[in-house]
A and B are shown apart, each in its own frame.
Chain A
Amino acid sequence: QAVVTQEPSLTVSPGGTVTLTCGSSTGAVTSGQWPYWFQQKPGQAPRTLIYDTSNKHSWTPARFSGSLLGGKAALTLSGAQPEDEAEYYCWLSYSGTKWVFGGGTKLTVL
């Protein structure tokens, strides 16, 4: 059973830049695992920020970007805003038959 790892918590200053990462116990994360990034605020359903590594939704703020970095999937936030404080989850596909979420990163903007 693959394990997907994320930083449990990160803190960023308003206007600052932070990178959240998503690693796989099976090796380097590839674009073929179609990495997704989701944002969830307390009491709300998750929403997709990034799909297929780097694609954005119409509602995804331009300050968010997705990439592959050092064998991991990465979500970079450039110019953090107070409203970006949330839990962030990544999601990876394994051969299209198993999908695994990371444990989530609690991002604090302070």
Chain B
Amino acid sequence: EVQLVESGGGLVQPGGSLRLSCAASGFTFSSSWMSWVRQAPGKGLDWVAIIKQHESEGYSADSVKGRFTISRDNAKNSLYLQMNSLRVEDTAVYYCAGGPGGYWGQGTLVTVSS
């Protein structure tokens, strides 16, 4: 059974940092593109970043470029999102997505507020 389990969300002040993790199982993680997608309260889906199978660098949306960094550890079947210089508008549920045909985790809530 494929599982994607996100962790690391929480409440952080503007300008602060958080690191999200996604533990993958049930598929060959190292062979899959992986992505982070977010959804602000009451809004649509918003692509954040994506990383290819064996690459150390990924690609990110203009809205987070220079602040967020996607990475992966294929030995640990894990995906990460380092989020720096957080803004109020980054408040959202963050989903890990990927694997063959696109599986989704249940999401982790990030709230940026003073």
From B50, B62, B95, B101, give the contact of A46 (CB < 8 A): B95
Contacting A47 at CB < 8 Å: which of B44, B47, B104? B104
Chain A at the B interface: SS class: strand
Total A-B pairs in contact (CB under 8 Å)?
48
> A44-57 toward B: CB 8 Å interface, digit per residue (1/0)?
01111001000101
Most chain B C-beta atoms within 10 Å of own C-beta, residue among A45, A51, A55, A89: A45
Which chain A residues in 84-110 approach chain B with CB under 8 Å? 87, 89, 91, 96-104
Q: How far is the CA of A36 from the CA of B45 in the complex (A)?
A: 13
In B46-76, the 8 Å CB interface with A consists of 46-47, 50, 59, 61-62
Residues 4-56 of B at the A interface (beta carbon under 8 Å): 35, 37, 44-47, 50
Please tell me if the beta carbons of A48 and B50 are within 8 angstroms of each other in the complex: no
Q: Given A89-B45, A98-B61, A99-B47, do A45 and B101 touch, yes or no (CB 8 Å)?
A: no
Could you give 20 example pairs across A and B, Cβ below 8 Å? Answer: A1-B62, A36-B102, A38-B45, A38-B102, A45-B104, A46-B37, A46-B97, A48-B102, A48-B103, A48-B104, A51-B101, A51-B102, A89-B44, A91-B45, A91-B47, A97-B59, A99-B50, A100-B47, A101-B44, A102-B44
Which residues of B pack against A, CB within 8 Å? 35, 37, 44-47, 50, 59, 61-62, 95, 97, 101-107
Q: Which 9 A-B pairs have the closest CB atoms?
A: A48-B102, A97-B59, A99-B47, A101-B45, A104-B44, A51-B101, A45-B104, A89-B45, A45-B106
